[in-house]
Structure 1
Amino acid sequence: MTVPALNSVAWFEFGTDKPEKVKEFYGELFDWKYVLNTNTPGVTYHSVMTPGAQQPAGGVWESEGSFPNYAIFYVHVQDVAATVERAEELGATVLMKPVSDAAGFTFARLQDTAGHHFGVFSVSVR
């Protein structure tokens, strides 16, 4: 796996209660393909494969109505916990504390000082 550059926007995600509509729309508009990701038990998540890409660039998280619909970006960082701590010092609100999945991804979600929802993540190369 190629690791994205630090501090760059390197992932996007849709959280939706209408995953088939999201996948159909963006699939037809941009020729995206979808692969079921089973790394996080209890979560239905489809990785987005963009044309010509060797690895996913984003995902569609099926909410089943358990949370509001959203679309966000994620920034690749060296240390998720340290970034969350620094963001809080700068006035951000933590929406989701750091969590890790079976594939070695650690991520968290924040709200910036203007109210925008975004995420940060790191990759543990195994």
Structure 2
Amino acid sequence: MNTRTVGWFEITATDPDRCRKFYDGLFGWEFTEAEAGYWTVAGPGSSSMGALRSGDRDELTIFVVCEVAGTLSHLESLGARVIASPSRTPAGDLQAVVEDVRSNRLGLSSSGTPVAWFEIGTDDPGATRKFYENAFGWTSERDEAAEGVEYYSFLAPGAEQPIGGIFAGAGDYAIPGLLVSDVEDVLDRCERSGGSRVMGPVSDGNGLTIGQFTDPSGNRWSSFAVPSGG
């Protein structure tokens, strides 16, 4: 599979039981144990979209679906640093992890299903846009609907709709975006479940509503809702 877009995420948790309880309560996610300390994650009635791994740190990593070995060498030539060499997960996928030119963790995976959205935060939009265009062929164009901020939409080769975005001046991060029906409801329930509201909800010029939150371990996510009839 060589979709070259974000199609997987992995949560590493020092307290996986608390993590599972939080996401089950917030989204109804289902966790299937592949082996001790590793679960695949699926939404209600959907296929696997990510994984939860027990570990000695708390972090969230997005994964680009691609041919791992060749892409890894290419990213190194662009200045990325390998922090996890290719290996098989308990679910059987070949994966590796690098840091991009802004030290954001970025995974590579041999399989996955495109996520609803992803966002790269950066304090150097020029370097970030150049890196991802050279890395995966993603072009970026200014999103004029994002009023009052510097935001760019990523377009994959041949794609008609954006697959993700770059938020300039918001710090450096790389996070998944979740399509939800009500952003304020998600943020409110997140706070009541031990997470935190980072921003929002805010609406752009097209009526898209956006918010960000962190889980109880500090992992950051974006969530968005499309306008009625959108």
Aligned to 2:186: 83
> Which deviates more, 91-100 or 81-90?
81-90
Deviation beyond 6 Å, 4+ runs, structure 1: none
Q: How does 1:1-126 map to 2 (within 5 A)?
A: 9-63=115-169, 67-124=170-227, 125-126=229-230
In structure 2, the partner of 1:3 is none
Q: How far apart are the structure 2 equivalents of 1:52 and 1:95?
A: 33
Q: RMSD value over aligned CA atoms?
A: 1.8
Q: 2: distance between equivalents of 1:40 and 1:23? A: 17
Return 5+ residue gaps in structure 2 as ranges: 1-42, 44-48, 50-114
1-structure distance, mates of 2:153, 2:144: 10
Seq. identity, %: 38
Q: For each residue in 1:101-125, what CA deviation from the matched residue of structure 2 results, as whole angstroms up to 9, or x when unmatched?
A: 1111101110101110111110014
Amino acid at match of 2:126: E
- The one-letter amino acid paired with 2:155 is M
Identify the residue that residue 88 of structure 2 maps to in structure 1. none
Q: What amino acid sits opposite 1:39 in the alignment?
A: A
Alpha-carbon deviation of 1:34? 1.1
Give the unaligned 5+ runs of structure 1.
Answer: 1-6
Number of aligned positions between the proteins: 118
Q: TM-score, normalised by structure 2?
A: 0.48
**Counterpart residue type for residue 149 of structure 2:** V
Secondary structure class of the residue paired with 1:88: helix
